[in-house]
A and B are shown apart, each in its own frame.
Chain A
Amino acid sequence: MRKMRKVRIAMAALIAQAAMSGATWAHHSKAMFDDSKCLTLEGTVRNFEWQYPHSWIWVVVPTPGGGAGDIWGFESMSPSQLVEVDPRWTRSVVSVGDKVKVKFSPLKDGRHGGSMNNIAIPDGRVLLGAPNSCLGAAALYGGSAASAPSAQPPAKGPAAKGGSD
């Protein structure tokens, strides 16, 4: 068991190094995300899409002054990659209704989405989502993630209700 944990930690380190070296473990280009930025948002999980080629977590983020909140979409790696990082993901590790904190590199076009570097789940664990985000902020998993700069979303961002794109 301890050996398996070591393997997963090593895998997480390798994936992080791969991101730094330019090896993309991602299925598509990261050109649409601004990896020089690293933002943090808190909200409630609306959907968890455990799927290929990328998993997505949808979070409702409260808006100033109340209301239904904004829906944000966060992309991470594929299930077969997420199960190898430590702490390991499973299909049920995140549930609808969970209060979470997400660290991510936002979409360059300003819409409510991003590449999720990690997610803090209710039991206190922080799960690695896409190590090749937040690179500009030197916030790689196992590195200085905890000290990465964070920011709240723009107060008057585009409304995501009903979707965009």
Chain B
Amino acid sequence: MRNFLKAGILLAGWLLIMASTSAAELRGSTWSSIAKLPDWSGVWAFSLAGGGKEAAEDANGKDGGRVPLTPEYARIRAAAAAALAQQNLSKCLPAGTPGVLTHRILFEFLFSPGRVTMLFEDGEVRRIYTDGRKHKSLKELNQSFMGDSIGHWEGNTLVVDTIGFPNGTLWQNYGVLATIDTRIVERIFLKDKGHLQIDSTLTDPAIFVRPYKYSRTYEISTLPIEEFQCMAGNRDTGTSVDLTPPPEEKRSK
């Protein structure tokens, strides 16, 4: 009996040590481990050379079959492209995941213990948890634009699994929304000095007949990110523009 008790105490102690060790070893979970992560500081910008052309073609249907859409979603995309529809941004709503990364919206990263945060020029925020947590079930998750992003580091690559973004746009323009079943897995890494690459794989049985995969690269921008007040200055009325002139300004010179 005494031996059994000893073994139990030893086992509990070992489990405790293992648990604390694994938490400490989880990359990015402490300030000291963050210092060893790759340097992604700076402002990043999507460009035509980084896949902007392909992103536009994927959105407007001129992709040559690159996007493995189901027949229903092929029709939805064609209708959206014909109408030049942009469901989110033109209403000053977030583009969400993954659409915000297919538009030339500047963004930057913040690393803090257990979390990588992406801050987008238009005010969107994406929180990627690297603290070892798991997704809640889809029933429990709030359905959002950005989704629930869980990440972990594989070497210098951040691997992010995201679910729960039925309000997110698949592309920035000609908006087609994700569904509650859409999942995206991204591998984010420095391609070279000044270029960040994101390899994405989207799955959704309603939208895709097989996984939709693409790579996009982002370049360092010299621009600072400034306040982007979409609602305050938006003249888009959905189908046209508000042409009410502002109060007349005095001549400044």
Q: Which residues of A contact B (CB under 8 A)?
A: 4, 7, 14, 17-18, 21-25, 27-32, 46-49, 51-54, 56, 58, 71, 73, 75, 78-81, 83-84, 95-97, 107, 109, 111-113, 160, 163-165
Contacts and interface: CB of A to CB of B under 8 A. Distances in A.
Given A29-B85, A51-B232, A73 B243 contact: yes
Given A51-B229, A80-B223, A163-B243, A56 B121 contact: no
B243 A164 contact: yes
Interface in B99-120: 103-104, 106
Interface stretch (B14-22, B29-37, B53-61, B203-211): B53-61
Contacts, number: 138
Given A58-B246, A96-B252, A52 B228 contact: yes
Given A51-B233, A75-B241, A107-B240, 6 more contacts: A14-B48, A17-B53, A18-B53, A53-B228, A58-B245, A81-B104
A164 B68 CA distance: 45
Contact of A46 (B104, B233, B245): B245
Interface of B: 47-49, 52-53, 55-57, 59-60, 62, 83-86, 89-90, 92, 103-104, 106, 121-122, 172-173, 222-223, 225-230, 232-237, 239-246, 248-253
Q: Is the interface of B mostly helix, strand, loop or mixed?
A: loop
Q: Is the interface of A mostly helix, strand, loop or mixed?
A: loop
7 contacts: A27-B90, A31-B84, A46-B249, A52-B229, A52-B233, A111-B243, A163-B243
Contacts of A95: 251-253
A102 B17 CA distance: 71
Nearest to A14: B48
A23 B48 contact: yes
Contact of A28 (B90, B225, B249, B250): B90
A76 B59 CA distance: 23
Contacts of B226: 79-80
A112 B246 CA distance: 14
B43 to A, nearest CB: 10
A53 B92 contact: yes
- Considering the complex of A and B, which 6 residue pairs feature the smallest CB-CB distances, nearest first? A28-B90, A23-B56, A51-B233, A97-B251, A163-B244, A31-B84
A27 B228 CA distance: 12
Contacts of A113: 241, 243
